[in-house]
Structure 1
Amino acid sequence: MPTETTSTAAPWFDTNLEERLTPSVISFFSTYCHLEREALYKHLHFIHQRAWDIRPYPCIGQWGFLAPKIQDSPAYATVLQRVKNGDTILDFGCCMGQDLRFLAANGAPSDNMYGADIEPAFWELGYDLFQDRSTFRGRYLESDILGDTTALATSSLRQQLQGKVDVAYAGAIFHLWDLDTQFNALAGLVELTKKDSIVVACQLGSVEVETKPAWREGLKPRLFHNADSIKKLWDRVSETTSTGWRVESRIVDLDVLLPNEKDRSWMDKTNRGLFFEATRVA
């Protein structure tokens, strides 16, 4: 995988918005943001460049904020219903809060929504993207989730949300890390949960467990899980935190997560999509 670059020549920087404007995307922005197609086109190009200038992530370059990954999760219906019923949700690695907005647009109240990310500028940009500063009630908590994740349990996340999170969602985060960092992040998240809480994630994985090069210079090589190894990681988390979890996981073809062939073309051919849902039982 190429390392992070600020250059718009990066293989994951795509200026072609037209093919991203699917009927569902247009409908969402028309209904939620009251933006029609002509105005929407200019608006999204503006946001795309601003987001790229903040951090040139592949998901930014590939317009990932237009297609919230939570809708692809097998647990999506469960998550939506729980939040509709008043459960608290934490979007761990929330970027511009697109997954939370997707839930809100589908009837979930935003009062009990929290987003956590290393970069507060993304959260602020989310208000501009969705034009909902006066109506969206979700709250942001800064967290260096790409840095010292061992500090997660003593961060503002723990101070405000310890034992209060019913649903934790992590989209495209864990595949950025090595095994120990993944463990630290999950163990920190467990601190925020309670019995019957769920942790839901979608990420890159592999049929066989694979070590991948770091996604940017200065970081450790990443570990891509398969359906079995992610359960073993949860076993380790359960033992260390003295909690119990029931874990369901599945590997899917990469086009489930990335339906645009262009978004997959620069990736390793062994890459797959990986979903998991962990339910706290003790």
Structure 2
Amino acid sequence: MQPIIQINDLAKKYKDAEFYSLNHFSLDILQGEIFGLLGPNGAGKSTLISILCGLIDPTSGSFSIKGLDYNRHAFALKKIIGVVPQEYALYPTMTARENLVYFGSMYGIKGRDLKDKVTQSLEFLGLLNFADRRVETFSGGMKRRVNLIAGILHEPEVLFLDEPTVGVDVQSKNAIIEYLQRLNRNGTTIVYTSHHLAEAQEFCTDIAIVDQGRVFAKNTPQALIAETPNAKDLEDVFLSLTGKGLRDAV
């Protein structure tokens, strides 16, 4: 299987920062994977995702997605990726359906196709009965599900997810994971960040553990556990590689 994302010697140093947020970061992600980017606070995960989504420029290095270089094909890249941020990217006074029609139209989806995609997605995630209620009245789990739909209506080939199940109940988490697995089976490559290591262990096909702006380990969850002495699960692997020191950030 060919890499759909190729990251070569990527570096990022913010203005006035003492250290690099990404430091000679190289990584290949294969087409069809559910790839987990795991690391403590300040490891460089958010910076990497922001660069891959075209939100910020790297200091040096390069990357491509489906063979498209970010310097020459920025517009084409944005058409094949989807982004679901941790913060809700929704208009609270609009209904769920209005939000999704708006975001879908921004991706160029129109008419019956847009209406059908919105209805089908709302139904699959258990929100069809609430489609015409304002988002500000929704629970956290309901907002999280609408937020997910907004990022995938255009059927992206690569989907970037930042903490997609944070702060939701067990039922919403299960619905979100099932929906993402369905997307993946239909061909979407998923790049996922989370602090829920047990969830990542079950959900991801491959994982990179990152810290200090570089890759510390990359393999399947099962292989990482097997190759780490005395590790029973992914949490043991994570602590072995990144240490037990607190990572409070201001």
**TM-score, normalising length from structure 2?**
0.35
Q: Report 1 or 2 for greater relative contact order, CA contacts < 8 Å, sequence distance ≥ 6.
A: 2
**TM-score, normalising length from structure 1?**
0.32
